[in-house]
């Protein structure tokens, strides 16, 4: 399960000819199919925010620092929240009343994937990153629509986004928070 959750972590950026926003809100459905063709389907929503900050050192050198925050709200078949800042992953499983915390060491880094993506048709892109092939599809408006890849456990993963809202002016930072209930068990990974 830890491996599966780490694979779900995305870090969005700009690469190839694909331009992604500073924030977005979307619904998703995710299908994971194992090597025996057994499927599990997840449904929920995703909230993403990217902030850029310029840091100036004592000698006047400027460095751009980008922070990326994600929150996956799983509604079916389980009630779960997955939050990430690109460094730490927090999983709150409401069905199990359990909180798991992990340091991210090997997740889907979509920014790196997009940097090597090559356009293969009008709305489709293909990328090979860390020996994994990704297929990325944009909708008619150039917004992220679908990601397909095979993970390190040979599961075929398909994530389809719907009702995508890029650069929402009413974006609420609180929608990115994972509030950890005090009475849940905690697992440090």
Mind listing the pLDDT tens digit for each residue in 75-109? Answer: 999 999 999 887 788 999 999 999 999 887 656 66
pLDDT at 62 exceeding the cut of 90: no
Q: Quick one: pLDDT at residue 110?
A: 66
Global pTM? Answer: 0.78
pLDDT of 47 > 80? The answer is yes
**DSSP code of residue 151:** -
DSSP one-letter code for 38: -
DSSP, residue by residue, 69-85:
EEEEEEEESS-EEEEE-
Top-confidence residue, 144 or 68: 144
Edge-to-edge strand order for the sheet containing 185-188? 118-119, 124-129, 132-138, 144-150, 156-166, 23-33, 39-56, 62-76, 80-84, 88-93, 98-103, 185-188
Whether residue 70 contacts residue 10, with contact meaning beta carbons closer than 8 Å, is answered with: yes
Structure tokens at 48: 């993403």
pLDDT for 120-152, tens place per residue?
998 999 988 888 899 999 998 888 899 999 988
CATH architecture of structural domain 2-54+64-168:
Clam (2.50)
Q: How far apart are CA 31 and CA 14, in angstroms?
A: 25
- Is residue 112 within a helix (H) or strand (E), and if so which, with residue range? helix 110-115
Per-residue model confidence as pLDDT tens digits over 12-38: 433 445 656 788 899 999 999 999 999
């Amino acid at each position: 399960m830890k491996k599966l959750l780490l694979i779900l972590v995305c870090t969005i950026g700009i690469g190839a000819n694909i331009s992604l926003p500073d924030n977005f809100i979307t619904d998703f459905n995710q299908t994971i199919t194992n090597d025996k063709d057994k499927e599990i389907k997840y449904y929920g929503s995703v909230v993403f925010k990217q902030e850029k900050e310029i840091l100036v050192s004592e000698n006047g050198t400027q460095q751009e620092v980008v922070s990326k925050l994600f929150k996956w709200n799983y509604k079916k078949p389980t009630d779960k929240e997955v939050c990430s800042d690109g460094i730490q992953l927090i999983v709150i499983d409401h069905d199990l009343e359990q909180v798991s915390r992990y340091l991210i060491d090997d997740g889907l880094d979509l920014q790196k994937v997009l940097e090597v993506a090559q356009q293969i048709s009008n709305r489709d892109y293909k990328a090979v990153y860390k020996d994994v092939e990704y297929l990325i599809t944009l909708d008619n408006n150039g917004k992220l629509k679908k990601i397909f890849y095979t993970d390190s456990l040979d599961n075929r993963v398909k994530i389809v986004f719907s009702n995508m809202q890029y650069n929402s002016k009413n974006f609420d930072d609180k929608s990115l928070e994972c509030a950890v209930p005090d009475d849940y068990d905690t697992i440090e990974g």
